[in-house]
Chain A
Amino acid sequence: MKRSPVFLITVLCFGFAFLYIPILSMIVYSFNASRLATVWGGFSTKWYVSLLSNKQVMDALILSLKIALVSATFATILGTMAGIALARFRKFKGRVMFSGLVTAPLIMPEVITGISSLIFFILMAEWIGWPGQRGFTTITLAHITFSMVFVTTIVQARMVQADRAIEEAAMDLGSRPWQVLFDVTLPVISPAILSGWLLAFTISLDDVVITTFTTGPGATTLPLLIWSKVKLGVTPDINALATLMVVTVGLGVILAGIILNRAEARRLADERMAYRSND
């Protein structure tokens, strides 16, 4: 049997072309001197220059980063707790509902999450006077809620793989439960926690739909700014902005991937060493 038939390789190449040509085209056209976004008019970096001096864009970027930092951190704490709970506590009251609550936001269409959050915030303001104004707080709360379940999925998967014997050994050697958690469990699942945080961060940084519904006057995140411009059509300055974002995130992910891979390899090597020195 042929191990790599021509047909499969052809489709693979076509697939990757399909995945990357639109982005590459966007990057190329961000250096377009012409104001017409789709007609080539020579090389220029003027869109990048005007972008960096655009206060509106910079303010939106800063707001987005703030929201993403705060929401990713809370989402990681809550999501990790939920992941540990689902992986380590076999039976507890309301487990079925809990696992349902953790899965539901993953399949809930964003429009519905957005509208229900907005109605919730409006009615809360009506009934208990909070939140007084929608903006940073409401966006962050909504982002925490729908990104924490992604962290849970990642952490839970890692916890299931993790060797329980190490936790049991720590227990037998007299560690208290919180010591086991901080000295054994959390270090073992730390790569999962880190990727969970990164995922929550990028989800928050990228979200349009839920943010549109939970935002208020004056709180324009970067995706909302892009969304309002993009609805009007393709422009070269958005191409430049998009290029910066795609390239930054792309490099960040590749770097994080390399670091995580190295850390994981070192951890496995350490584990093997530890077992060998026991023999």
Chain B
Amino acid sequence: MTDSPRTKYMDRRGWSDIIIGAPYVWLVIFFLLPFLIVVAMSVATKTATAPPFSFGGEHPLINLQAYQRIFTDDLYLRAFLTSLANAAVAMILCLLLGYPMALALTRVSRGWRNILLMLVILPFWTSFLLRVYAWMGLMGRNSWFNGMLTDAWNFLVPVDWAVRSIPMMNTNFAVILVMVYTYLPFMILPLYASLERLDPTLDEAAMDLGSRPSQVFRDVTLPQSVPGIVAGGMLVFIPAAGELVIPTLVGNAADPMIGRVISDEFATARDWPMASAVAVALLVLMVIPTMIYTHFQGRAEGSK
């Protein structure tokens, strides 16, 4: 796109300085600066003073002990693996459930489509905390939902395996289930956006050329929806991996996720350098999928 001089209508000194400057300065002070402090904190030394850290003095100026502990202490490695595994499983389940839903949304009539899309978006506006809470009610030992699942289980398995209720709360299963529940709209919307743009005549062309419906899906629909899959996957995976609320409420405290570890190191152990180092490590892990995403996005835009 080329800019003729007059399209830069607001591009004058003074004027544009305010519009760019105000949010810029705000984000530098309240986002970048705190973040840089955390990065610096990760190489500080924990002390018993208040605030509980120090640089230099009798300690090395740059203390890599916290990072060393991440790789040697079993707790941190396990927490990272649990987080990544939970987030990955939740992402895959969201995809398996969300893809057919998004595809179905493109096939229903226009009137229905608007209503159903609204129903997909609506949970996104309602309280996240309360949506997690709603599952606590369903998963408890005495709930109707647990009772129903227990009956189904007892009906299906041999009598020896019968249980009085299914232990769902405080398990990794609960964490994954609630993650799928809360993040499903994040998967459906980008998938729908990319599926909706597909040209239906391509499907027809493939059919005319003798493809069966499953082949049309595999050869035409699926490849074209890859950007939507990647975008949806990212939107689920990234917040899921750093999740704090869900594992705290329905997760297994003995097998914590990394968000819980960061929070505990900070608040309970008062080990700011350790909490910061784990936070930085988590961010590095987040940056990798983000780079894959931008790579895909760049390629998708390049091919247009």
Residues of A within 8 A of B (CB): 1-5, 7-9, 11-12, 14-16, 18-23, 25-26, 29, 36-40, 78-79, 81-82, 84-85, 88-90, 92, 94, 98, 101-102, 104-105, 107-113, 115-120, 122-123, 126, 141-142, 144-146, 148, 152, 164, 167-168, 170-172, 177-178, 180-181, 202, 205-206, 208-209, 223, 226-227, 230-231, 233-234, 238-239, 242, 245-246, 249-250, 253-254, 257
Contact = CB atoms under 8 A, between A and B. Distances in A.
Interface string B190-212: 00000000000001100100000
Contacts of B207: 1
A4 B103 CA distance: 9
A89 B15 CA distance: 11
Contact of B20 (A92, A109, A148, A152): A92
Given A111-B279, A144-B26, A171-B6, 14 more contacts: A1-B213, A12-B101, A22-B137, A38-B137, A84-B19, A89-B16, A109-B238, A109-B242, A111-B242, A111-B262, A168-B9, A230-B129, A234-B137, A254-B118
14 contacts: A12-B116, A14-B97, A23-B134, A29-B137, A81-B22, A92-B20, A109-B244, A111-B262, A112-B35, A120-B33, A145-B27, A177-B9, A223-B127, A254-B122
Contacts of B188: 15
Contacts of B98: 15
Nearest to A171: B9
A23 B131 contact: yes
Nearest to A15: B101
A257 B118 contact: yes
Interface of B: 3, 6-12, 15-16, 18-20, 22-24, 26-28, 30-35, 37-38, 41, 51, 97-98, 100-101, 103-105, 107-108, 116, 118-123, 125-131, 133-138, 140, 142-145, 181, 184-185, 188, 203-204, 207, 213, 216, 238-239, 241-245, 248-249, 259, 262-263, 266, 272, 275-276, 279, 282-283, 286, 290
B15 A177 contact: yes
A249 B163 CA distance: 39
Nearest to A248: B126
Contact of A148 (B26, B32, B137, B248): B26
Contact of A4 (B15, B108, B213): B108
DSSP majority for the B interface? helix
A7 B123 contact: no
A245 B181 CA distance: 19
DSSP majority for the A interface? helix
A122 B26 contact: no
Given A105-B31, A111-B259, A226-B133, A1 B239 contact: no
A115 B267 CA distance: 9
Residue picked from A14, A119, A178, most chain B C-beta under 10 Å: A119
The 10 closest A-B pairs by CB, nearest first: A109-B242, A120-B34, A22-B134, A8-B104, A82-B23, A116-B34, A11-B100, A12-B104, A101-B27, A145-B30
Contact of A11 (B9, B104, B142): B104
A120 B127 CA distance: 27
B100 A12 contact: yes
Contacts of B140: 37-38, 234
Contacts of A242: 127, 130, 133-134
B237 to A, nearest CB: 10
A14 B75 CA distance: 38
A94 B135 CA distance: 45
A78 B28 CA distance: 13
Contacts of B118: 254, 257
B54 to A, nearest CB: 13
A246 B127 contact: yes
B262 A25 contact: no
A14 B128 CA distance: 21
A238 B241 CA distance: 28
Contacts of B241: 109
A140 B107 CA distance: 44
A141 to B, nearest CB: 6
Nearest to A119: B37
Nearest to B178: A22
Contacts of A178: 15
Given A26-B137, A257-B118, A115 B279 contact: yes
A175 B32 CA distance: 37
